[in-house]
Amino acid sequence: MKGHEDEDEYGDVYVDEGDVIQEITVDDEDLPEADDEVASDIDGDEADDSIHTFTGHTGEIYTVACSPTDALVVSTGGGDDKGFSWKIGHADWGFELQGHKDSISAVAFSADGQFLASGSLDGLVQVWDTYSGNLKCKLEGPGEGIEWIKWHPKGHVVLAGSEDYSVWMWNTDNNAYKTFFGHGSLVTCGDFTPDGKTICTGSDDVSLRIWSPKSGETIHVVRGHPYHTEGLTCMAITSDSTVAITGSKDGSVHMVNIKTGKVINSLAAHTDSVECIGLSPSRPWAATGGMDGKLIIWDLQHSSPRGTCNHDEGVSCLLWLGTTNYVVTGCVDGKVRVWDCHSGMCLRTFRGHADPIQAVAVSVGGEYLVSVSIDGTARVFEIAEFR
């Protein structure tokens, strides 16, 4: 061997003080950590698991929705005052949701996939034909920005909550509208019940309001002990339309009987703001994500946690993958993760984003996952293995 030959030829080699040319003092803080080189390889530019990246936006992206009828059609909106409808893997198909004068904060497809609604901080909601890209109607009224948009589960009726403390409902076929007043601060979350017969809205005024969509009147106001002590952030409603589950900045989660307006259970485990709630379509389970870095899976029948999945940073959004046991989380660390709710194991971590994830959506059929980020990109990941 060559190495042994060199050893034999030169023998032992020693260095004395006379051989030293210059002494250099090195601060311990300047020394790289043992894992620095490995980490840079993992988190570098090549660490991108996405199969498609939409780069039409020039600023932060806040919202994403997937068509309920076409597995390739996606809509996004962001802080560049722009919204788009585009197709996964089809760079030549799409249209811009023009006409907004401020950040687009919400996009949503109608249940039949025929229409797409976009809501902006300019207070305007616009409705588009999903496939032609033509503007169907402009829905005006709110004096300040739109916080969220929901469609009626069985018709072309749009519900929106505003920063001006109001809730608006429009019939997009004839532009008839109804307003709901009563909240004392911006309306942060809301939805129709799945049967379409009731509206629930949550506000930064620390209250949940239950409304009649027909009369516009308040049926119940839920506030005070034992309810939240800080503003509401998120909401989910059970498939049988009987229970609203709400999360708050105070880290608490409460279950409210929609018919009686009474708090029936309180779920306490988070130590920071609860940012998102999702309900399993196939089991009496809920998932909650918070700024404490926890994804908690709850057994709603026993009002107790089944398990906790820990993240290094806050969980900003989540969704269940259909009727499976899998939950997807989008996080402040810019990563998207798939969790098995039975084992509590993280099955997959999707990399590619450089900044916090703002929202996630899954395509109809469950083949693609789309995430949007403050980094200005929308990324598509293949998740067919989790169907």
pLDDT tens for the chain, 387 residues long, are: 444 444 444 344 444 554 444 443 434 444 333 333 333 344 445 589 999 999 999 999 999 999 999 999 999 999 999 999 999 999 878 999 999 999 999 999 999 999 999 999 999 999 999 999 999 999 999 999 999 999 999 999 999 999 999 999 999 999 999 999 999 999 999 999 999 999 999 999 999 999 999 999 999 999 999 999 999 999 999 999 999 999 999 999 999 999 999 999 999 999 999 999 999 999 999 999 999 999 999 999 999 999 999 999 999 999 999 999 999 999 999 999 999 999 999 999 999 999 999 999 999 999 999 999 999 999 999 999 999
Helices (H), ranges, the chain: 2-10, 36-43
Note the pLDDT of residue 38. Answer: 34
Note the pLDDT of residue 43. Answer: 47
Note the pLDDT of residue 10. Answer: 37
Cα 83 to chain center, whole Å? 17
Residues in the chain, overall count: 387
Note the pLDDT of residue 93. Answer: 86
Task: Determine the Cα–Cα distance for residues 213 and 362; give it in Å rounded to an integer.
Answer: 29
Note the pLDDT of residue 46. Answer: 59
Amino acid at 343: S
Note the pLDDT of residue 92. Answer: 79
pTM of the model: 0.88
Largest CA distance in the chain: 99
Note the pLDDT of residue 26. Answer: 38
For 47, 100, 113, 135, 150, the CA distances from 140, given in Å and listed in that order, are 44, 12, 22, 14, 16
For 67, 75, 154, 252, 362, the CA distances from 70, given in Å and listed in that order, are 5, 12, 18, 37, 11
